């Protein structure tokens, strides 16, 4: 029997994502001037206020208030009427030095002996139902909000948009797990108070259905375009007007959108958030590494769907174990346990090895903090950073290295494909 599956996304202006982006902007600035920085930074945003808290071990000094304000302004909170804007909000910092009890388990005589920054299990997932090996419902949810943000910044075809928004896509699948059609799309977007409530709602619905959605569909592969039809149920700002939003409408915290950040409810999640953590924290680095493994396994043809789990003990170099689930989609006669054994031989999952393989000690994290950490474009960009003393640095960094298909040939060789 056919079934429905739903995933959601939230925009860069959603309060939880504002918090994530501030935390990751701090990570990038620390790593830009001291690649060995150890950082765990949490952010809270609410009406007119930002609170920074966490632990840092670094040789560099930063103007954390300026970094927070610049991040908020870049997102689009630049007007006093939003009751939260980068130029006027208060910024309180309660950041202090990292505990010696934690660092003694991570820092070792050689970098290769570096222990895991915490215990826990991390998951990576990949599926061949999209070109970027991501679950389709989540991929579409992200795309809707990225295009909505483009329209907001263009301020041309739609001129009343504010930064906060959410999306949700429901897809009908066949018994053999193949997407059949888009069943429903939900878009809730913050907006200016530009007319009577019923007039605003009608205008917003019309613009979302007739301007936003066609622009999203136009960039999709033909097979995905065919899933859209005139029978889609649209729920546009279903509660009515959405003028009060962002941190004024709802307090935001770092790490509260971990399913949006990963696979939209497909696969599994170990529970650890990513933003605000340097790569010694395996919550982040090992989650990227398991995504890298899963994507390369699917791309190599080992299976059409793969879940990878790795687990660690704090301060211990080697992982506790690697688990593989191919959901019965393995292309040849091999058990998931046998696949896991080969994966263990192919991929070095020691924390320092992950950092080196994926180039994680670079300022690459601001770009991850909105629209998902997985399924993104691997590219090299130039970024500039400055310190309060006037020192500045410009770096070429490689983003989303865990999305590279650089192990496909090794996987094929190992599995005889």
Are 171 and 165 in contact by the 8 Å Cβ rule? The answer is: no
- For residue 78, the model assigns a pLDDT of 96
What phi and psi, each to the nearest 5 degrees, are found at residue 75?
A: -65, -35
> What's the rounded Cα separation, in Å, for the pair 408 and 51?
44
Q: Side-chain half-sphere of 65: how many Cα atoms within 13 Å?
A: 9
142 is in an annotated binding site: no
**Nearest alpha-carbon partner for 198 in 238, 244, 241, 245:** 241
Bridge partners, residue 381, by sequence: 397
> What's the rounded Cα separation, in Å, for the pair 283 and 278?
10
> What's the rounded Cα separation, in Å, for the pair 384 and 136?
34
273 is in an annotated binding site: yes
- For residue 118, the model assigns a pLDDT of 81
**Nearest alpha-carbon partner for 53 in 14, 102, 116, 97:** 97
pLDDT in tens, the chain (417 residues): 799 999 999 999 999 999 999 999 999 999 999 999 999 999 999 999 999 999 999 999 999 999 999 999 999 999 999 999 999 999 999 998 865 555 555 555 666 677 787 889 999 999 999 999 999 999 999 999 999 999 999 999 999 999 999 999 999 999 999 999 999 999 999 999 999 999 999 999 999 999 999 999 999 999 999 999 999 999 999 999 999 999 999 999 999 999 999 999 999 999 999 999 999 999 999 999 999 999 999 999 999 999 999 999 998 899 999 999 999 999 999 999 999 999 999 999 999 999 999 999 999 999 999 999 999 999 999 999 999 988 999 999 999 999 999 999 999 999 998
- For residue 315, the model assigns a pLDDT of 87
222 is in an annotated binding site: no
Which DSSP symbol is given to 115?
P
281 is in an annotated binding site: yes
- For residue 92, the model assigns a pLDDT of 97
What would the two tokens of residue 187 be? 């878009």
250 is in an annotated binding site: yes
- For residue 294, the model assigns a pLDDT of 98
Are 258 and 274 in contact by the 8 Å Cβ rule? The answer is: yes
> What's the rounded Cα separation, in Å, for the pair 300 and 363?
30
The region, left, alpha or beta by phi > 0 then psi within -120 to 50, assigned to residue 198 is: alpha
192 is in an annotated binding site: no
- Domains, in order of start, for the chain: 3-8+136-246 (3.30.300.10), 120-127+279-415 (3.30.300.10)
14 is in an annotated binding site: yes
17 is in an annotated binding site: no
Are 30 and 393 in contact by the 8 Å Cβ rule? The answer is: no
- For residue 112, the model assigns a pLDDT of 65
- For residue 214, the model assigns a pLDDT of 97
> What's the rounded Cα separation, in Å, for the pair 258 and 287?
11
Are 14 and 164 in contact by the 8 Å Cβ rule? The answer is: yes
391 is in an annotated binding site: no
User: Cα Rg for the chain, rounded, in angstroms?
Assistant: 22
10 Å CB burial of residue 342 (0-12, 13-18, 19+) is middle
342 is in an annotated binding site: no
- For residue 114, the model assigns a pLDDT of 78
């Amino acid at each position: 029997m056919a079934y429905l599956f739903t995933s959601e996304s939230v925009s860069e202006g959603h309060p939880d994502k504002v918090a994530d982006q501030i935390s990751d902007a701090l990570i990038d600035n620390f790593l830009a001037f001291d690649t060995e920085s150890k950082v765990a930074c949490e952010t809270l945003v609410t009406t007119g206020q930002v609170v920074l808290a966490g632990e840092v071990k670094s040789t560099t000094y930063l103007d954390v208030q300026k970094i927070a304000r610049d991040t908020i302004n870049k997102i689009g909170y630049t007007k006093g009427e939003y009751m939260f804007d980068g130029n006027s909000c208060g910024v309180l910092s309660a950041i202090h030095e990292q505990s010696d009890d934690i660092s003694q388990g991570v820092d070792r005589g050689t970098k290769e002996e570096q222990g895991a920054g915490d215990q826990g299990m991390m998951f990576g997932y990949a599926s061949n139902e999209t070109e970027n090996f991501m679950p389709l419902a989540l991929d579409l949810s992200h795309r809707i909000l990225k295009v909505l943000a483009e329209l907001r910044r263009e301020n041309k075809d739609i001129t009343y948009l504010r930064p906060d928004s959410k999306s949700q896509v429901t897809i009908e699948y066949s018994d053999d797990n193949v997407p059949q059609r888009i069943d429903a799309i939900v878009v809730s977007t913050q907006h200016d108070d530009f007319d009577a409530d019923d007039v605003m709602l009608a205008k917003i619905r019309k613009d979302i259905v007739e301007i936003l959605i066609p622009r999203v569909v136009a960039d999709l592969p033909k097979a995905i375009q065919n899933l859209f039809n005139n029978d889609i149920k649209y729920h546009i700002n279903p509660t009515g007007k959405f003028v009060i939003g962002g941190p004024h409408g709802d307090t935001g915290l770092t790490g509260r959108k971990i399913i949006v950040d990963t696979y939209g409810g497909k696969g599994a999640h170990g529970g650890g958030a990513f933003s605000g953590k340097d790569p010694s924290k395996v919550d982040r680095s090992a989650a990227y590494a398991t995504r890298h493994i899963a994507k390369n396994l699917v791309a190599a043809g080992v299976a059409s769907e793969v879940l990878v789990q790795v687990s660690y003990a704090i301060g211990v170099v080697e992982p506790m174990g690697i688990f593989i689930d191919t959901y019965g989609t393995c292309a040849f006669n091999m058990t998931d346990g046998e696949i896991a054994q080969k994966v263990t031989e192919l991929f070095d999952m020691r924390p320092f090895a992950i950092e080196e393989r994926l180039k994680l000690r670079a300022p690459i994290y601001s770009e991850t903090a909105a629209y998902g950490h997985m399924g993104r474009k691997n590219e090299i960009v130039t970024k500039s950073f400055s310190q309060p003393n006037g020192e500045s640095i410009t770096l070429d960094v490689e983003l989303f290295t865990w999305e590279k298909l650089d192990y496909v040939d090794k996987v094929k060789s190992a599995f005889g494909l």
